[in-house]
Amino acid sequence: MARRYDPERRQRIIDAAIRVVGEKGIAGLSHRSAAAEADVPLGSTTYHFKTLDELLVAALRQVNGEPQTAVEGWERMLGEGEGSLAERITRLLGRLVEGDRGRMLLEYELYLAALRRAALRPVAAEWLDGLVEVIIPYAGSPATARALVALIDGLLIQLLLTGREFDADETREILARVIA
């Protein structure tokens, strides 16, 4: 039997893995669940991704590269409009939380999986360091930029955990205190 040429199969598997994690969490992802979601043979997932960590790295890289998550997207959004850095970050966070919270949950689930999966740590660190670099010109120092990135993560994780509504005034005040 001739082998079927399917140049998009690897990408379909990555997309399927992202959907599985979005619906069932990291614990729900396996080669089998990704294959079923991508509608490909199980052997295809193990051919393209020898380990589950390889598949998770590809998924995290893709999610980190999407416009709402990409460092370049943050750079563009911070450069838009007027106002203080606290106001700009507050607007950016407002846009993020007004969007799909399920998507934010997926992003953080993949990002926080790096706590237990060493293969994901370089990808997560690359995104964090890139975001710090984007914020430095606005924050004035690497330390302030890193503190702001940590604060942004903390604020977003708290919103996801509690289900609370985004409070722009409170967020702006918190950011202004760290920036000062």
How far apart CA 152 and CA 140 sit, in angstroms, is 17
Phi-psi group of 49: left, alpha or beta (phi > 0 → left; psi -120 to 50 → alpha; rest → beta): beta
Query: Model's pTM, two decimal places?
Result: 0.82
Number of domains in the chain: 2
Residue 17 domain boundaries: 9-50
Q: Are residues 79 and 155 in the same domain?
A: yes
pLDDT computed for residue 1 by the predictor:
43
Distance, CA of 149 to CA of 14 (rounded, Å): 27
Residues 15 and 90 in one domain: no
Strands (E), the chain: none
Structure-token match 């997560």, residue found: 124
Distance CA 15, CA 40 (A): 12
Instruction: Give the other-Cβ count within 10 Å of 28's Cβ.
Output: 11
Residue 124 has pLDDT above 60, yes or no: yes
- Asked if residue 56 belongs to a domain, the reply is no
CATH of the domain at 34: 1.10.10.60
Are 99 and 24 in the same domain?
no
For 125-161, what is each residue's pLDDT tens digit? 988 899 999 999 999 899 999 999 999 999 999 999 9
Q: State pLDDT tens for residues 29-51.
A: 999 999 999 999 999 999 999 99
The rounded percent of the chain whose pLDDT value lies above 90 is: 58
- Lookup: tokens for 135: 């914020």
pLDDT of the residue at 60: 86
One domain, residues 90 and 171: yes
